[in-house]
């Protein structure tokens, strides 16, 4: 037990000292703001009262947000905050009384957030929280943080970024490694939590787990052995943060560096848009505003994020009604970090999960009017299913569609002949020969008009994500998206919402920094696969967009933004979400030389993209039946980087089977991205006690000021990616 006065002996502030200027001669008083000397009391190790330890975030030249959570019953609890420039707390920062003594409020799950202002720029600070209980002060672990350098400082900036940290059955070896880095801060690009307690489609069913106390408040999903819950109540979401933040490796990272976080989908719900979830793939409306509010509140309580520059210094601040999380940070002359929110304002995915594959969305007249010609992938359709062939197909189709879970109301008007014949053939299989319905003969099909139906966009099965959010046919999707964009005056791809978008572009445009780093949640660079050369059924010999939940689902808005960003120059996107490491560029349609560089970082722990893709294919009723499909998924990096199909020449590096993080070092000349890779198999092993045995691979890339080229460090020489040959030269 140490007496508090021992800590304070050197730094007891007097009224006289308080009047001294902040940068005055006394090194012991770093930030003399009014504060009373703390009373003497016994100090004791309080780590048991701080089961989530401490964290800091949103560093700015003069301020940083400090966070802790105290656990001791249901009452509001007294907490004191201490900040110093040394880990021993001999050089203490005098805090304003309103900050030095705060309450851990029950209504905020006893989370405490304090925004400390008036700090020196580019300076390391240490902080701790003291839970005052009776005569004893229980001290948290010591956190280290660092303010941002002054805007005019010509300094290198070094930070890491991470994303996707599924906790269930997986270990945070990534954080074990990251904690050893020398960094100014780290960025979290989302999926800090996963809202489900073990979704068998992508989460482990063994090892460490998450369970909800408030099961009644959660959403029950799955059946039998694969039943699980998704968070819905505030209690559920808080419990997720508490559990995730109980991890010692994650705690170590929070204790070492300030974090700048945005959210992606899983902080609320998988593949969400606004307040709408996608578990039921369009079987019902999943909009749930209360659930979204609960998710946001827990995030706000548990993440060390700023509560707004205009807000009063209110450690117990509640979630403001106009809560927005997009925000920017300046780190000296060279880095301007612009963090977006690509989940809260975006529209629904373009192709509904419940869409009836046969429904024609672009008919021949529309296509010719808009494109002056029919695209190659336009397919024959009957003009009116109700009257075609005296309506014999209408009743068969409606019945079959309803049985398969489609909306029979979609089975009207123009319907794909291919789908009619597929369904009729299926129905005929169960019927005696004399009751079978004849297929539409090829001769009739040859004379039909051609258009694009949902099936031609990739929709193959009922109420599924394939062909809606994933694996859409690129060539038809891009046509459809462009026409919808025009028709809705951009609303169909309004990813950011008008207010955020103009803030985003204004911020980028107004930035004087060498590097405008965009903290971007999901892949900006196009990621298509071209399956035409592979030995698979004819129907799949197409180019597919991997993920319409990412920017490939918004190609027109992407192009519009890129036009501005290319013009501004020096913009680099850092990205998470896809659980893979990629380096590449996103270029303008029509002029791929106009582009911006993107570095995509792998998941902290969530199943790597290759694994996810393989299980998605294996789990889809249609794709699993395609011979060779799982093998193709297993070879995804070769498919993405194929020099035969040249489908992604802008993609310079693909590693879809690893975990890890990326370290960025940015100066006035270059921005270096070092991808730190941990093999996928190692996620099952806890290396906390054997960290020397953890293998960490490293691959260095860079881009230079005034260019948008990518270079790789090839044993000491920088080689440039040449998209035309798809080689490093
Ligand atoms: Fe994720």
CA of 266 to the centre of ligand 1 (A): 7
CA of 547 to the centre of ligand 1 (A): 13
CA of 608 to the centre of ligand 1 (A): 9
pLDDT in the model for residue 1: 37
β pairing state of 379-382 and 219-221: unpaired
Q: What is the mean pLDDT of the segment spanning 377-388?
A: 96
- Run of H or E including 408: none
CA of 539 to the centre of ligand 1 (A): 30
Do 336 and 517 contact (CB within 8 A), yes or no? Answer: yes
Closest to 710 (Cα-Cα) out of 652, 660, 627: 652
pLDDT in the model for residue 628: 87
Reduce the DSSP state of residue 160 to 3 states and report it: strand
pLDDT in tens, 230-273: 999 999 999 999 999 999 999 999 999 999 999 999 999 999 99
Record the pTM. 0.93
| Tokens read off for 19 | 């009047």
CA angle 166, 170, 171 (to 5 degrees): 105
Do 588 and 615 contact (CB within 8 A), yes or no? Answer: no
Query: In which residue are the tokens 């000349």 written?
Result: 669
CA of 229 to the centre of ligand 1 (A): 17
CA of 681 to the centre of ligand 1 (A): 18
d(CA 60, CA 72): 32
Q: Determine the distance from the C-alpha atom of residue 454 to the mean position of all C-alpha atoms in its chain, rounded to a whole number.
A: 28
Q: What is the mean pLDDT of the segment spanning 563-591?
A: 96
Using the CB atoms, write b or e for 33-54: b if 16+ within 10 Å.
bebeebeebebbebeebbebbb
Q: What is the mean pLDDT of the segment spanning 123-133?
A: 97
| Four-CA torsion 100, 101, 102, 103, nearest 10 degrees | 160
Closest to 728 (Cα-Cα) out of 642, 652, 672, 671: 652
pLDDT in tens, 153-165: 999 999 999 999 9
| Four-CA torsion 41, 43, 44, 50, nearest 10 degrees | 100
Query: In which residue are the tokens 């590693």 written?
Result: 655
CA of 156 to the centre of ligand 1 (A): 30
pLDDT in tens, 175-227: 999 999 999 999 999 999 999 999 988 898 888 999 999 999 999 999 998 89
pLDDT-based confidence at residue 591 (cuts at 50, 70, 90): confident
CA of 606 to the centre of ligand 1 (A): 6
**Residues within 5 A (CB) of ion ligand 1:** 164, 191, 606
């Amino acid at each position: 037990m140490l007496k508090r006065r021992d800590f304070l002996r050197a730094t007891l502030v007097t009224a006289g000292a308080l009047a001294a200027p902040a940068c005055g001669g006394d090194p012991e008083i770093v930030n003399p703001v009014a504060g009373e000397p703390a009373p003497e009391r016994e100090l004791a190790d309080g780590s048991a009262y701080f089961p989530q330890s401490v964290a800091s975030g949103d560093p700015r030249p003069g301020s940083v947000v400090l966070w802790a959570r105290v656990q001791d019953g249901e009452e509001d609890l007294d907490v004191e905050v201490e900040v110093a420039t040394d880990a021993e707390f001999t050089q203490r920062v005098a805090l304003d009384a309103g900050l030095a003594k705060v309450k851990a409020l029950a209504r905020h799950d006893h989370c405490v957030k304090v925004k400390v202002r008036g700090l020196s720029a580019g300076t390391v600070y240490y902080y701790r929280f003291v839970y005052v209980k009776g005569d004893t002060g229980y001290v948290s672990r010591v956190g280290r943080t660092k303010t941002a350098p002054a805007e005019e400082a010509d300094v290198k900036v070094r930070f890491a970024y991470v994303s996707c940290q599924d906790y269930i059955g997986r270990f945070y070896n990534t954080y074990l490694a990251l904690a050893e880095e020398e960094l100014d801060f780290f960025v979290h690009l989302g999926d800090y939590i996963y809202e489900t307690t073990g979704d068998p489609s992508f989460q482990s069913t063994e090892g460490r787990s998450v369970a909800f106390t408030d099961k009644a408040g959660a959403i029950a999903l799955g059946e039998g052995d694969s039943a699980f819950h998704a968070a819905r109540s505030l209690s559920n979401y808080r419990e997720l943060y508490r559990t995730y933040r109980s991890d010692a490796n994650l705690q170590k990272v929070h204790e070492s560096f300030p974090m700048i976080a945005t959210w992606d989908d899983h902080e609320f719900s998988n593949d969400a848009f606004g307040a709408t979830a996608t578990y039921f793939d369009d079987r019902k409306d999943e909009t749930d505003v209360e659930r979204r509010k609960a998710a946001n509140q827990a995030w706000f309580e548990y993440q060390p994020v700023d509560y707004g520059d205009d807000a009063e210094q209110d450690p117990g601040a509640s979630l403001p009604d106009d809560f927005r999380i997009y925000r920017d940070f300046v780190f000296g002359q060279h880095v301007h970090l612009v963090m977006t929110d690509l989940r809260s304002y975006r529209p629904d995915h373009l192709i509904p999960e419940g869409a009836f594959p046969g429904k024609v969305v672009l008919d021949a007249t529309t296509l010719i009017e808009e494109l002056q010609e029919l695209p190659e992938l336009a397919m024959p359709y009957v003009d009116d299913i109700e009257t075609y062939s005296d309506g014999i197909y209408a009743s068969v189709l409606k019945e079959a569609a309803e049985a398969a879970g489609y909306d029979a109301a979609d089975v009207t008007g123009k319907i794909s002949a291919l789908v009619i014949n597929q369904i009729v053939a299926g129905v005929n299989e169960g019927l005696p020969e004399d009751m079978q319905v004849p297929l539409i003969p090829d001769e009739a099909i040859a004379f039909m008009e051609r258009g694009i139906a949902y099936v031609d966009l990739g929709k193959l099965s009922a109420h599924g994500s394939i062909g809606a959010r994933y694996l859409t046919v690129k060539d038809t999707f891009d046509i459809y998206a462009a026409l919808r964009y025009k028709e809705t005056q951009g609303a169909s791809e309004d990813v950011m919402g008008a207010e955020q978008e103009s803030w985003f572009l204004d911020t980028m445009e107004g930035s004087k920094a060498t590097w405008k780093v965009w903290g971007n949640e999901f892949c900006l660079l196009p990621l298509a696969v071209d399956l035409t050369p592979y030995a698979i059924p004819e129907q799949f010999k197409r180019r597919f967009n991997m993920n319409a939940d990412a920017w490939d689902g918004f190609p027109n808005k992407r192009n519009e933004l890129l036009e501005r960003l290319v013009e501004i120059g020096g913009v680099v996107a850092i990205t998470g979400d896809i659980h893979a490491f990629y380096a590449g560029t996103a270029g303008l349609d029509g002029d791929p030389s106009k582009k911006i560089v993107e570095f995509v970082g792998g998941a902290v722990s969530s199943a790597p993209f290759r694994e996810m893709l393989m299980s998605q294919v294996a789990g889809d009723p249609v794709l699993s039946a395609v011979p060779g499909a799982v093998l193709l998924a297993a070879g995804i990096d070769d498919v993405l980087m194929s020099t035969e199909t040249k489908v992604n020449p802008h993609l310079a590096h693909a590693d879809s089977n690893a975990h890890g993080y990326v370290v960025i070092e940015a100066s006035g000349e270059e921005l270096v991205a070092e991808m730190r890779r941990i093999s996928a198999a190692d996620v099952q092993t806890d290396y906390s006690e054997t960290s020397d045995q953890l293998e960490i691979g490293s691959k260095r890339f860079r881009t230079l000021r005034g260019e948008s080229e990518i270079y790789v460090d090839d044993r000491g020489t920088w080689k440039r990616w040449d998209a035309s040959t798809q080689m490093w030269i």
